[in-house]
Amino acid sequence: MLTACIDAPQVMRADDDPIGPLANPVMVDASLGTCFARSTTPAIIETVTEQVMVQPAPVRSEVEFETPCAAVMVPQFIASVQRALIARGYYNGAINGRVDGRTATAIERFQTAQGDVQTSTLTLQTTRAIGLVAQPRDTL
């Protein structure tokens, strides 16, 4: 049996925007220090020997949301996120200032409970909900 691996080609949209997570988040509002992130759920493709509709094929979905910029995501900030999630009963790991597997899972569980985007990426809405980023005056 002969096998080989090759790099998959980068898929681009018509406006030259790559499909998938942003390598360098785009600044949304410099005065607030918020950035832009994207969470992509890939389609699941299966090969069958006969055509039987079991359920409609899942569609690739893509959600864009505001997130704190990289300059804000320092270990002290992540440690504050971990402490806030411990206080709310979503995290039971070490306060290490890193978004490790346990921290990412806790963030996603909190987001699910709050009705936020369900991704392990820390969203601006999540940081506001746990009290680490101030709410804009016009939303109070």
User: What is the full per-residue pLDDT of the chain (140 aa) written as tens digits?
Assistant: 444 444 444 445 555 555 444 445 555 566 666 677 777 667 677 776 676 666 666 665 677 888 888 888 899 999 999 999 999 999 999 999 999 999 999 999 999 999 888 887 888 889 989 988 877 666 65
- Yes or no: say if 95 and 82 are a contact pair by the CB < 8 Å rule: yes
- In sequence order, the β-bridge partners of residue 37 are 65
> CB-based contacts of 92: which residues, under 8 Å, 6+ apart?
86, 102
Rounded-to-integer distance, Cα 115 and Cα 129, Å: 11
Rounded to 5 degrees, what angle do the CA atoms 100, 106, 133 make? 95
- Residue 81: the pLDDT is 94
List phi, psi (to 5°) of 71.
-65, -25
Rounded-to-integer distance, Cα 41 and Cα 91, Å: 24
Residue type, 39: S
Q: Whole-model pTM?
A: 0.59
Tokens of 4: 């080989």
Name the residue with tokens 């759920």: 41
